[in-house]
Every structure is written in structure tokens, then in C-alpha cells.
Amino acid sequence: MERKGRERKLPGMKIVMPTPVETPTMNLEDRCLIKLTNESEEIEIAATDLVVLEELGKGGYGIVEKMQHRQSGIIMAVKRIKSSINDQSQKQMLNELDACRRSDCCPQMVRFYGAMFREGDVWICMEVMDTSLDKFYRHAYKIGKHIPEPFIGKMALSVIEGLNFMKEQLNLIHRDVKPSNILLNRHGQVKICDFGISGHLTNSMAKTVQAGCKPYMPPERIDGETKSAYDVRADVWSLGITIIEIAVGTHPYANWKTPFEQLKQVVKEPPPKLPMESGFSVDCQYFVKRCLEKDYNERPKYPELLAMPFMEQARNEKQFSMARFINEILDTVWRR
Amino acid sequence: MASVPSSSSLPVSHVRRHEDVSTPSAPPTKRSNNQSQPPESYEPNTWLQQQREQEQQKKLAAENIKKQSIEATGNNEMVGEEEEDILSKPCGPHKRRFQFVMIRNITFAIPEGYDVEPNSIEYLGGGSFGNVIKTSAVCRDGLRRYVAIKKMREPFFDPHHARRIFRETKLLQLMRHDNIICALDIYTPDEENDFRDVYVVTEFAGRSLYQILKQQRDYGRRVLTDEHIKFIIYQIIRALKYIHSANIIHRDLKPGNLALTDDSDLMILDFGLARSLEKKDTSLTQYVQTRWYRSPEVIYWKIDSYTNLADMWSLGCIAAELLTGEPLFPGDEPNAQYQRITQLCGSPDEELLTKIENDNSSAIKAVIQSYTTHKRRNFRDVFSAHNPSEDFIDLLEKLLVLDPEKRITVEEAIQHPYLAEFSLPEDEPRADHIFDLDDSQARTRFEWRDAVWKEIMNYKRLSSSPLIPGEADR
């Protein structure tokens, strides 16, 4: 029996499409050339020669794995991001990757080695660090430790110096400052990752996908009625939220279920601040207060932040060892 | 191993013409009657029993075959003989043979029997949840069909992804409607203990409505006429009638999930976000959907308790886009989206605000009231540049209503005067019964993986499924 729907169609139901112009495909490669340091030789890495050692993290963006190159033994972190072929934002991303690769290394930025494409993903090869600030502070609280002010100061100093370098030297804005994008190693170094890479992808995905609210987003980005162009002060707000989160042990905002709840809290209520009774210094509290100015015109940019007493103290602090503190936390096993 | 003889590809139109003649779609009631016949209802069990009995016997033989093929040594005669023996018996999906093909740096496992010639395979696109290629295969009914093979992206990445895969594979088997895609094949090349890739095969249903609309915009030339638009909307509603009668909400209606043949036959493609209303799932609070087509109650104030009326809002967005050629509410973040919606459809009135307050809190109501208040605009004026008919405007008005309780239902929409020339109630089937997806439990991603594995193992192939070489009729 023929589909009855056909009997009811009218003349002219044919669809005549214009002849499509062949869209040029991206130059997709499943290998890339990487340089571990500015002085070393380039090594060609193929995706198929990378062996997974462990999973480092996962999120809405994709997954990060520690991988080893079979032939050379080199260990790196590989982040896999969904790729939209022929997406304009991907071209922008590739341009930024290339810019990062050619730049002099900034000690506060996770070193980017190269990128390739495989299984519909962009594979971004990066320097491997020992942990993220997100995992680190949660582990610290689990084992009954708090995050001391000198750690917060030195962490913030590294992040701001890295963000300032991105802006001044590479003309990039991070757009996604949060604990899981701040990495630590046992040498005591603090580095930011996702420098500009996720920015365009996030924007690209945001046009089509919304998975929950973004708890690090500043008021001017949330309030559609006063929406403004993105600039570095959005990252300053996110850093302020991050500091409170690790200082107190929990994110200052409750879990929102709707964009309206986010709007109410972030846009219409006073900004969060370090509790007065928490024992943090006046300089630290003032620093956080300035980061979380709701009016972004009043919020400081990096040079002003770097000149503040809290940063000066972080620079001059000699008694506190980041390396010792980080190793102490990482080496303590949590037992229920 | 004998290679599948390559044959010239048939044009799509010929394939569909043959299909029309030899595979008429029976009304669901008839299928139900057929399925209730004792002889047929026993057949799957019989096959399963045979499968279990033979599995152990074949396991050793299969292992020997594997070893010999790996070593590339051994008696050719014996190998051929044993292969023939295996091929002559019914095989479960996990015994199939695959060829691995690299397309756009993505490895696809393609089962024996499908066309794997490089020139015959076309990459259709990739998205958040998978990559799709087009190829062809001779099916069990003897016809060669164009098929779409979708390789799921990291299907067991986390419990949320895994459940979505389970839902989609389940629904693609349950849905039987000529405007809804169904699975012709579901397979994995993996063994159970290293199971990680899921492939779903459907008939190639044509190009997506998104592509058509995009090409219209790119070329500045109208392709879809008023009659096309009306027929498209009718078919969507016809499919939704079936879906909603099964107590399923689609939840992701958008142009990219609708496929259209050159003859304007429409199919709804993707069911990854669909869910059953049968069981309350309070664990679901946030989910991923293209925001532009999402109804306001789903985004803003009824997140835990929306209904299938959400799909009707999505249909309204699609209908308007078909008319104008441009997305109706392309917000780039939730608050901009809200403002676009209220500028056209008006801000919530006192009655809706009271419902919102009761569902949420007075704080949410205050947030809504803090926005600029808009009056609902006259749709006829807004869309006048595109010369819509009175009936189209009337239907659109009833679809794009903020309060879902006042929005037109699918049963009402299918009787709307706008669709009168296509209306034929006796050929607008409802589902036989409510579909229970059995997906409300809190499961780990490994438990979902096991559930998906079972779906693949238990998949019942159709007469229009690609033929597995040596497959016995059953």
C-alpha cells in the first residue's frame, strides 16, 4: 500500500536546490610538529602514536588526558575539543593557536605544543602540570587544610601576570578564568591554560548550546539590558570569584536552576566578599573587593591590580614556599 | 573472504520509487495485530535459544579463525571451509565483520555488506553527538538503499551522555511512523569488555532543513514555496501527534533535526534529547538544547515540570523561520533570548506571573518584572513583508504563546484550517501505546553502557535493514 500522504500532495512539491559551491575543507591533519622548548628541535607527533596514561579532567568542552608519545617518551597533556569543520570560529582559534605557538614562552602560561585533528576533535597538546587549582583546593579541604593567604597572593599574582602578558603581547582575552583552568605543579609554579582557545569555541557553542549557567560570569555579561563588549575586566571578576571560592572552600553562589536566578544574584544583589571573620588581611579583602566591583567601569585592569599592596606582598613574601605547600597537600592521602 | 561485488550506485529517486512500491507502510494497528500472532511472537525467543546454544560451539571456531587470520598462515581450504560454515548460520551482531575506513580523520567501522568504496562514501557532517556518513547497502528486501551511519561521539563519556545514547537507540527502534526516522541497524565493532563505540544506521532521509534554509540565505533565492512550507509543517505535526501520543517529548525540534527529500517528504531525525513523561525524573534539571528553539518555560520558569507543549513552541519557531528564512529568536545568551521572545510575544501577564511565582518564588517574579514590559505585537504586521495567509498567522499566534497551558496542542493543531488540504484523520496515526523508556533510574555510565550493549544485542532487524552476508531468513 502506497503512503497515503503522497496522494494528497499538490503539484509543484519538488524542491529544486541551487547548485552548491564546493566548500573548501580545512586542512585537517592528524599529526603536528611540536617544540618542547624554544631551543629544542621540532618533533613530529601523530595522534595514533599517543598512548593514554590517565584522564586528567573532563567537562562540557571535552576531555583532557595525560598522554605519552610512544617513540620519544615525551609526556604531555592533550585536550580534546569538539571541532566544527568550516566554522569561522575555528579558523580564529587556529590563528590564535599559531600565535601562541610562535610567542616567547610566558612562565605563567601553560606551554602550548601544537594541535591536530582526529575523530572529529581538535587535539591540543600542552605542557602537563600536576594538578588544577580546582582539584587542589577541594583536596585540601577534604584533608582538613585551609588555603593560606600567601598561597592566594602568589597564585593571584601569577594569574594576573599571565593574563596581562596575554593581553599586552598576544592581544588575547582569556574569557574562562576559573579554578579548573589554573594549573599547579610540584615546583610551585602556577600557570593558566586555555589561553584564548576556549574563548571562541565557547562563544561558538553558546550560540547553539546552553548547559547550565556560568557561575564565573560577571554582571555585565549576564544582564542583557546593559550588555557590553567583552574586555579584560570580565576576567578580573572571574578571578575574584575564584579567590573567594578557594579561600572559603565553596563557590560563593548557590547552584542556579534558571538564568533568572543567576541574574537575581549576580546582577541585582551585592557582590560576594571575603568574610570579615575569616582572618584574611585588610589588603587581601580590599583586593578581592576591587576585583568584584559590579560596575565594570570601576573595576581595575591588570596594571592597577599589580600595583596594589596585596600583590606587592605576594611578590616579596619569602617565608612561604609554594612548592612545599603544594607537595604537602598532594602527598597527603585522604582517608574517610 | 569474498569481497562484496561493487555495483553502480542507483540515483536516490529510483531507490525511493522502488521503496514506495514494495515497502508500503502499514498502519500501526495492523503491525500490532501481526505482532500479536503466536507464531511470530515465539520466533525471537526461538532464535535467542538457538543463539545461546550455538554460542559456545562457535566461540572456539571463531577464535581459531581470528588466530589464523592474524598470523596470515594456515590452510586456505580449511579457512574457507570454516568461514563458510559460520556464514551459513545465523549470526548475532557481535559476530559481524567490519572494515575500518578513515573519513575526515574519523575512523568508521563499516559492517560487511555495506558499500565501502571511497567514492561511494560521503561525509554528511558532525555535531555535538556524533559524525555521520552516507553510503549504500543492499537490504534484506533486495533493494539497495542509501543509508546514513552515525558514529556516536564518546557515548559513555558520563552518565548523562550514556543515558542519552540509550534513549536514542531505544526510541529509534520503538518509533514506527513514516515521518519519523527509525534504525535500520545498530552495531558496535567492539567486544563487550571493551565496548566503547556505538553506530546507528538509518535510511538516508535527504538534506536537513537547516541546509536548505542556509542555502536559501546564501544564494538569496527562495526555494521553499508556500505549499512546501505548509506540507512541511503538516508533516511535523503529523509526526508530533504520534510522538506525543506515546507520551514522549522530543525536546530538540530544530531545522537541523528535520530532513527533507526532493519530493518534500519530511522525517524527524534525532531523538537524543527525547524523554518519557511516564515517570517523573526529578534528577533532570539542566540539559542541552539549541536555545533558539527552546520554549520559554523550559529555559526560565518551569524547568522541572515542562510538558510536550514545549515541542509546539519549537514548531512555532520553525514555522516562522520557514516563512522569513531567518531564525526567529537567535539569542546569543539566555537574557538576550528572553528579550527577543518578549518583544514579539509580549511579557508575562499577571496570570502567568502568578503561576511563575507559585512554581518558583517571588524573587523570580521580581526579576521578570524588572525587565522592560512589552505588549504582544500584531503578528500579521510583523510578518506582513512575507505575505503569509490568514490561517498561517492564526496558527503561528496559537503556537507562540508564553503560557504553555494556553498553547495549541498537537491534536488541535492538526485540525487547524491552515492544514485543511492535507488533513486526513484516518492517516494520522497515534502510537499503539505509551512508550516506557525505562530510563529514569540513576545509573552509572557503565550501567548505561551495559544497557546500550543489550539494546544492540537484542536489536531486531527489519526487512529494510542492510543484508548481512550469509544471514539466514528468520
- Out of A109, A126, A143, a domain closes at A126
Label each residue of chain B as H, E or C. CCCCCCCCCCCHHHHHHHHHHHCCCCCHHHHHHHHHCHHHHHHHHHHHHHHHHHHHHHHHHHHHHHHHHHHCCCCHHHHHHHHHHHHCCCCCHHHCCEEEEEECCEEEEEECCECCCHHHCEEEEEECCEEEEEEEEEECCCCEEEEEEEEECCCCCCHHHHHHHHHHHHHHHHCCECCECCEEEEECCCCHHHCCCCEEEEECCCEEHHHHHHHHHHHCCCCCCHHHHHHHHHHHHHHHHHHHHCCEECCCCCHHHEEECCCCCEEECCCCCCEECCCCCCCCCCCCCCHHHCCHHHHHHCCCCCCCHHHHHHHHHHHHHHHHCCCCCCCCCHHHHHHHHHHHHCCCCHHHHHHHHHHCCHHHHHHHHHCCCCCCCCHHHHCHHHCCCHHHHHHHHHHCCCCHHHCCCHHHHCCCHHHHHHCCHHHCCCCCCCCCCCCCCCCCHHHHHHHHHHHHHCCCCCCCCECCCCCCCC
Assigned CATH for B93-205+436-458:
3.30.200.20
Q: What is the mean pLDDT of chain A?
A: 75
Q: Is residue A105 domain-shared with residue A139, that is, in the same domain?
A: no
Q: Is residue A178 domain-shared with residue A222, that is, in the same domain?
A: yes
Domain count, chain A: 2
Q: Is residue A162 domain-shared with residue A240, that is, in the same domain?
A: yes
Q: Is residue A263 domain-shared with residue A119, that is, in the same domain?
A: no
Tell me, yes or no, if B464 comes closer than 8 A to chain A by beta carbon: no
Q: Looking at the domain assignment, is residue A23 inside a domain? A: no
List pLDDT tens digits, range B47-106. 333 433 444 444 445 444 444 333 333 333 333 333 333 333 334 554 687 989 888 778
Q: Looking at the domain assignment, is residue A292 inside a domain? A: yes
In chain B, residues under CATH classification 1.10.510.10 are: 224-254+290-427
Q: Quote the CA–CA distance of B370 and B367 in Å, as a whole number.
A: 5
Candidates A174, A29, A30, A25; CA nearest to A87 is: A25
Residues of chain A with Cβ-Cβ distance to B422 below 8 Å are 5, 8
Q: Looking at the domain assignment, is residue A44 inside a domain? A: yes
Q: Quote the CA–CA distance of B309 and A251 in Å, as a whole number.
A: 36
Residue A313 scores a pLDDT above 70: yes
List the single range of B55-64, B140-149, B375-384 with lowest mean pLDDT.
B55-64
Q: Is residue A163 domain-shared with residue A117, that is, in the same domain?
A: no
Q: What's phi and psi for B402, nearest 5 deg?
A: -60, -45
By residue range, what is the domain housing residue A120? Answer: 31-126
Most confident of A3-7, A63-67, A253-257, B181-185: B181-185
A182 alpha carbon, distance to own chain's centre? 7
Residue A65 scores a pLDDT above 60: yes
Band of residue B293 on the pLDDT scale cut at 50, 70, 90: very high
Q: Looking at the domain assignment, is residue A78 inside a domain? A: yes
Q: Which residue has the higher pLDDT, B3 or B305?
A: B305
Candidates A123, A116, A121, A120; CA nearest to A30 is: A116
Query: Is the Cβ–Cβ distance between A208 and A84 less than 8 Å?
Result: no
Q: Is residue A94 domain-shared with residue A180, that is, in the same domain?
A: no
Band of residue B193 on the pLDDT scale cut at 50, 70, 90: confident
Q: Is residue A237 domain-shared with residue A91, that is, in the same domain?
A: no
Residues of chain A with Cβ-Cβ distance to B24 below 8 Å are 1-3
* Strand ranges of the sheet holding B122-127, from the earlier edge strand across to the other edge: B122-127, B130-138, B144-152, B199-203, B183-187
Q: Looking at the domain assignment, is residue A26 inside a domain? A: no
Residue A215 scores a pLDDT above 80: no
- Who among B154, B263, B333 is closest to A13 (CB)? B263
Candidates A198, A150, A175; CA nearest to A321 is: A150
Q: Quote the CA–CA distance of B203 and B293 in Å, as a whole number.
A: 26
Q: Which residues pair with A75 in a beta bridge?
A: A68
Give B 354-413 residues with CB within 8 A of chain A.
360, 363-364, 366-368, 370-372
List pLDDT tens digits, range B312-334. 999 999 999 999 998 999 886 67
- Out of A74, A94, A126, a domain closes at A126
**CA torsion, points B53, B56, B60, B62, in degrees to nearest 10?**
60
Neighbouring residues of B185: CB distance < 8 A, sequence distance ≥ 6? B111, B147, B199, B200, B201, B459, B461, B465, B466
Q: Do the chains contact at B158 and A58, CB–CB below 8 Å? A: yes
Band of residue B336 on the pLDDT scale cut at 50, 70, 90: confident
In chain B, residues under CATH classification 3.30.200.20 are: 93-205+436-458
Q: Is residue A105 domain-shared with residue A140, that is, in the same domain?
A: no
Q: What is the mean pLDDT of chain B?
A: 74
Q: Looking at the domain assignment, is residue A61 inside a domain? A: yes
Q: Looking at the domain assignment, is residue A2 inside a domain? A: no
- Out of A126, A154, A181, a domain closes at A126
For residue B96, the distance in angstroms to the closest alpha carbon of chain A comes to 23
Q: Is residue A39 domain-shared with residue A101, that is, in the same domain?
A: yes
Q: Quote the CA–CA distance of B7 and B15 in Å, as a whole number.
A: 14
Residue A214 scores a pLDDT above 60: no
Band of residue B300 on the pLDDT scale cut at 50, 70, 90: confident
Residue B35 scores a pLDDT above 50: no
Instruction: Summarize the annotated binding site of A for ATP as residue ranges.
Output: 56-64, 79
DSSP state of A44: E
pLDDT over 70 for what percent of chain A? 68
Q: Is residue A109 domain-shared with residue A137, that is, in the same domain?
A: no
Q: Do the chains contact at B367 and A260, CB–CB below 8 Å? A: yes
pLDDT over 90 for what percent of chain B? 29
Could you say which architecture CATH assigns to the domain B224-254+290-427?
Orthogonal Bundle (1.10)
CATH classification at residue A69: 3.30.200.20
Mind telling me the catalytic residues of B?
252
Query: Is the Cβ–Cβ distance between B111 and B98 less than 8 Å?
Result: yes
Q: Looking at the domain assignment, is residue A13 inside a domain? A: no
Query: Is the Cβ–Cβ distance between B465 and B139 less than 8 Å?
Result: yes
Q: Do the chains contact at B263 and A14, CB–CB below 8 Å? A: yes
Residue A222 scores a pLDDT above 50: yes
pLDDT attached to residue B223: 83
List pLDDT tens digits, range A140-192. 988 898 799 999 999 999 999 888 887 777 777 776 788 988 989 998 999 88
List pLDDT tens digits, range A110-135. 876 888 867 777 788 888 889 899 88
List the single range of B125-129, B171-175, B306-310 with lowest mean pLDDT.
B125-129
List pLDDT tens digits, range A70-105. 788 888 898 777 565 445 455 555 655 665 654 556
Q: Which residue has the higher pLDDT, B14 or B178?
A: B178
| Helices B350-359 and B362-370, axial angle in degrees (round to 10) | 140
CATH classification at residue A263: 1.10.510.10
Q: Is residue A50 domain-shared with residue A147, that is, in the same domain?
A: no
Residue B42 scores a pLDDT above 50: no
Residue B346 scores a pLDDT above 70: yes
For residue A260, the distance in angstroms to the closest alpha carbon of chain B comes to 6
Band of residue B288 on the pLDDT scale cut at 50, 70, 90: very low
Q: What's phi and psi for B252, nearest 5 deg?
A: -145, 40
* B132 assigned ligand-binding residue: yes
Q: Is residue A183 domain-shared with residue A312, that is, in the same domain?
A: yes
